[in-house]
Amino acid sequence: MIGDPVALTIRRDFPRPDAAVLERFRDTPSGFVTDAMNGRGSMHHGIKPVRTDMTFCGTAVTALCGPSDNLAAMAVLDFVKSGDVIVIAAGGNEDAAVIGDLWAMWARRIGVAAIVVDGLVRDVPGILEAGIPVFARGHCPNSGYKNGPGEVNLGVNCGGVHVMPGDILVGDVDGVVVVPAADAEATARRLDLVREKEASALQRVRAGEKLQFWSQDAVDARGGIRYVD
């Protein structure tokens, strides 16, 4: 490296999805969204809500933090809009918390829809009091440092999924799903079909009708079945 690293690299603004497109994902189970994307798009299963009833839908803003560092996470609060979801990539680090209750309370006050952390948080009672959905790998009392280097709104890898500012995120007890902004309209159209099929299947199961969960003919075409009794 030539010279000292830049402590923070910040993109101050970016295109956000049309409000009507975003609304088509609201109140939708995360599993429906992945079904509309060929069964993919979910972050690592370790990233879960601090409380199981937490859900959200919103537009991603991103912060990239190094191990035990939270400078970018602190700075990102100055570059959000109401309805945004703050996505903090901490590389799954488990040495220190990235954010705490006071930070979460302020995020809620300025209209942030949710917080997703690929790492740890702290001050869980205060986070619950803040009333904002927080998804993380866990929690511990250790605190991070504000040293950098870090990045704001340049895109991150969070929980194994690439997230760019402007992407749509949906979260619930099953996890967090990322819909790339470029695919949002097409995914929303497929999501309508998923809802229709799921509603029909649920009605049939409740009526006592067994669904076809697998096809013997399809298995036969791929090599057949051997019964051992």
Between residues 79 and 201, which one has the greater pLDDT? 79
The pLDDT of residue 116 is above 70: yes
State residue 98's pLDDT score: 97
| Look-up of token digits 């690929």 | 118
The pLDDT of residue 100 is above 70: yes
Determine the average pLDDT of the residues in 189-205.
89
C-alpha 83/C-alpha 29 separation (Å) is: 18
State residue 221's pLDDT score: 85
State residue 119's pLDDT score: 97
Residues 6+ apart with CB under 8 A from 203: none
Query: Could you give the domains of the chain?
Result: 8-197 (3.50.30.40)
The answer, as to whether pTM is greater than 0.75, is yes
Q: What does the DSSP assignment read for 177-223?
A: EEE-GGGHHHHHHHHHHHHHHHHHHHHHHHTTPPP--S-HHHHHHTT
